[in-house]
Amino acid sequence: METGTSIDHNGYETIKNGSWFSQFRNGYNPWMARYVYGLMFLLANLLAWAVRDYGHGALTEMKKFKNCKDGLNCLGAEGVLRVSLGCFLFYFIMFLSTAGTSKTHSSRDKWHSGWWFAKILMWPGLIIFPFLLPSSIIQLYGEIAHFGAGVFLLIQLISVISFITWLNECFQSQKDAERCHVHVMLLATTAYTVCILGVILMYIWYVPDPSCLLNIFFITWTLFLIQLMTSISLHPKVNAGFLTPALMGLYVVFICWCAI
């Protein structure tokens, strides 16, 4: 039993310390899995963007889109929803098939961290499947997805805050504080510059007329949040420095940009 465990451990270390390609090729590896799933999610987002902006010519040839509810404008929106539904189906199947996994070397753990070639075939198949469904089902999914998007943004916000807090603590540790002081100031200055530039560009591009009150409100509120986060971070009782509000400001500007 100990010999088998030793072999598994040594094999695990070999995979972990190998190249990215060898980790992908050599079977299940939880260290590699998170990056592969993240890459697949990124590709799904890029595909949704391409379908929304450049898929009109291809989608209009499909009979499913001939009677689209809102005409031409719905092609982009429904295309994004269909890609989103396919992505949701893939990750939901992965969730159901791996929920409750408690052992590192169990079959479900191997399925989660390996079998990539099977998943490469399954993922695009599930992405294509929603394009065969009628618009009514997609519209229903779109209504449900509003709630799911809110949950996703909340989880994303928690992840971003955790990462920024961890990064700030690493830079402020006694061991790295002096060595990283210049790097922190440079990174914070760059982040604030990008935030201000983003706010200015949003005013230029999305407020063509003073009557665009909703856009003005969201952009101005974003600028206020950046100032508020900076003020709180620099308060003597908090003393978190410039880096945390600067990086959080980038995220807030990005969310506002996507929203408007």
pLDDT band at 92 (very low <50, low <70, confident <90, very high): very high
Rounded-to-integer distance, Cα 128 and Cα 133, Å: 10
Rounded-to-integer distance, Cα 129 and Cα 22, Å: 31
Q: What is the pLDDT of residue 35?
A: 81
- Look at 17 and 81; give whichever has higher pLDDT: 81
* Token duo for residue 210: 């003073």
pLDDT band at 15 (very low <50, low <70, confident <90, very high): very low
Q: What is the pLDDT of residue 5?
A: 45
| Mean pLDDT within 56-68 | 57
Q: What is the pLDDT of residue 110?
A: 80
Q: What is the pLDDT of residue 157?
A: 86
| Mean pLDDT within 22-48 | 75
pLDDT band at 234 (very low <50, low <70, confident <90, very high): confident
The burial class, CB within 10 Å (0-12 / 13-18 / 19+), for 241 is: middle
* Token duo for residue 42: 């990124």
7 pLDDT above the threshold of 70: no
- Among the ranges 9-13, 67-71, 108-112, 174-178, which has the highest mean pLDDT value? 108-112
Average pLDDT, the chain: 79
Q: What is the pLDDT of residue 60?
A: 57
pLDDT band at 10 (very low <50, low <70, confident <90, very high): low
Sign of the alpha-carbon dihedral angle for 109, 114, 117, 119: positive
Sign of the alpha-carbon dihedral angle for 46, 20, 92, 157: negative
3 pLDDT above the threshold of 50: no
Cα angle for residues 7, 10, 16 (degrees, 5° grid):
140
Q: What is the pLDDT of residue 55?
A: 67
pLDDT digits (tens, 9 = 90+) for 195-209: 999 999 999 998 888
4 pLDDT above the threshold of 50: no
Residue 115 backbone class (left: φ over 0; alpha: ψ -120 to 50; beta: rest): left
